[in-house]
Amino acid sequence: MGCLFSRRRKPAQDGQLPQQQQEGAGQGAATGEQKAPQYSWDLRAKIDPKDYTFSGLKNETVGRLPGKVAGQQFVIQDCENCKIYIFDHSATITIDDCVNCQIFLGPIKGSVFFRDCKDCKCVVACQQFRTRDCRKLEVFLCCATQPIIESSTGMKFGCFQYYYPELALQFKDAGLSIFNNTWSNIHDFTPVSGENNWGLLPETAVVQDYVPLPSSEELKVVRVSTDAAKSIIPITRGRRQKNSDESCLTVFFAGDYTTANARKLIDEMTSKGFQLVQTKEVLMKAEDAHRVFQQSALEFIPLLEKGPVVALEFNGDGAVEQCQSTINEVFSGTKVFVSESKASASQDVDNFYNFADMQMGM
């Protein structure tokens, strides 16, 4: 797997007006008899790269409020001892040569790329996560694809935990699902024999101890919560060792309340001590249903045309029985797939997530 990024990427500068437009404008001004033709690009707001760059800052708290980035690309470079908060969705973000910074990055439609950074603590949501030549980064991550580190050491990862009122819509605007998070499935592009360049943050790690809430008057207007129970992203165990040899697969089908139903089941199960291992939102076809749902496939195939399914894996002794009981009591009017027994559940989980990983190119 090669590195796809150039050494530096800067925001594009606005181009010059077309020559014929310049000439037309001049003629109109000179004669007063005709107006310059209008082009669609004249009507667009001009982009000032300075509005999408933090560069050369020291010991400062800076940020962008919701609506201020609005899907543009952003550059953070040469910052030291800074607290940086991007409370909006963006196209891509590059972070270069930053030292001892605490950074929050709202949903990124494409990639976030850290280069030559060290001793930084971050909260990041993105489609693609990359680092190169970095040292000692601690990241609470939501990443839709497999995160990749290259020539980087001392990396630590935890599950994204964050909330503010605008965040759910920003995830949607960035094209990210709150259920697709591979935060612990790290690929080390440059492994060293006998060494481990990355690990997981403690399960007890609290986001606010790493990236504190913003203290500036400008940014305090964003109603942030780092309470894990309020997180927009469900907190998953990822690749941590499971506590039990019993898991249960539950699959919700597309509809008006799919997300709400999935969140409700997560709350019900975790409140009873079961652990959410992983989640996934993915489109399925009829042949996929046969592979995953086996004998129950025909019952669920008509539901697949409505949109993607949301799958949840719960772990703990008695997980299958408790899932079945909760679904019968709370979701009695909703068609849901749930593992039939402890014996079949392990295969259900493997079947679904093997299929989902292939779908997402993992």
Known binding residues for GTP are: 110-111, 127-130
Pairing of strands 155-159, 135-143: parallel
Binding-site residues: 110-111, 127-130
Q: Which two tokens stand for residue 81?
A: 């001892």
What residues have CB less than 8 Å from 359, skipping those under 6 apart? 282, 283, 288
**Dihedrals φ, ψ of 39, to 5°?**
-110, 155
Give the whole-angstrom CA distance, residue 18 versus residue 197. 51
Determine the 3-state secondary structure of 328 from DSSP. Answer: helix
Give the whole-angstrom CA distance, residue 81 versus residue 13. 29
Burial class (CB in 10 A: 0-12, 13-18, 19+), 107: buried
Cα of 63 vs its chain's centroid, Å: 19
CB atoms within 10 A of CB 30: 8
Give the whole-angstrom CA distance, residue 127 versus residue 124. 10
Give the whole-angstrom CA distance, residue 297 versus residue 299. 5
Q: Is the dihedral of CA 343, 233, 161, 9 positive or negative?
A: positive
Q: Which of 48, 93, 96 is nearest to 73 (CA)?
A: 93
